[in-house]
Amino acid sequence: MQSIMSISFYDAKVATTIEEATEMHGRIVADYKNGETIHWGIADNSTNEILGTLGYYRGFKNEVGELGCVLKPAFYGKGFMSKAMKLAFDFGKNELKLKRIVAITSQDNKKAIQLLERLNFRMTRKLEDNELEFEHDFQNTPL
């Protein structure tokens, strides 16, 4: 659990202790069992090290999924998140039958904003707490 502390999040809060990370994992599992989320680990195939996570959160009402992701900083810029996001897109469109994907990030997270823009997300609105909401519409936007 210690090796994934920096990527252990729930509701935009990062775990600061093993106990918090364990509790967050339990909540993620419960959400999955209730059909409210689906969450994946991102691993390096050569080492099986968990590098990050991504998933659809907050349910799938109205054919919309909120996609969130986190990656250990040592692996930024190496294509792991781009590949994972494309796989999550495919799953969302073909398995979950989503029409739109929403992603929220900090205005200060330039790397995340660049990734979302490369994947044809468009910024739809500014939110509280210095956050931006982005959207990808499968019906009107190619991947």
Measured between alpha carbons, how far is 89 from 70 in angstroms, rounded to an integer?
Answer: 16
Q: Which residues contact 76 (CB under 8 A, 6 or more apart)?
A: 111
Measured between alpha carbons, how far is 143 from 140 in angstroms, rounded to an integer?
Answer: 10
pLDDT digits (tens, 9 = 90+) for 86-141: 999 999 999 999 999 999 999 999 999 999 999 999 999 999 889 999 999 876 66
User: What is the pTM assigned to this prediction?
Assistant: 0.80
pLDDT digits (tens, 9 = 90+) for 33-58: 888 889 898 988 888 888 988 999 87
- Please choose, from the candidates 102, 23, 33, 26, the residue with its C-alpha nearest in 3D space to the C-alpha of residue 61: 102
The residue ranking higher by pLDDT, 25 or 3, is: 25
pLDDT bin (cut points 50, 70, 90) of residue 73 is confident
From residue 130, how far is each of 104, 105, 114 by CA, in Å?
A: 10, 9, 17
Task: Decide: 58 and 36 in contact? Cβ < 8 Å.
Answer: yes
Domains recognised in the chain with CATH numbers: 2-137 (3.40.630.30)
Task: Decide: 66 and 58 in contact? Cβ < 8 Å.
Answer: yes
- Where helices occur in 2-59 by DSSP H, the ranges are 18-33
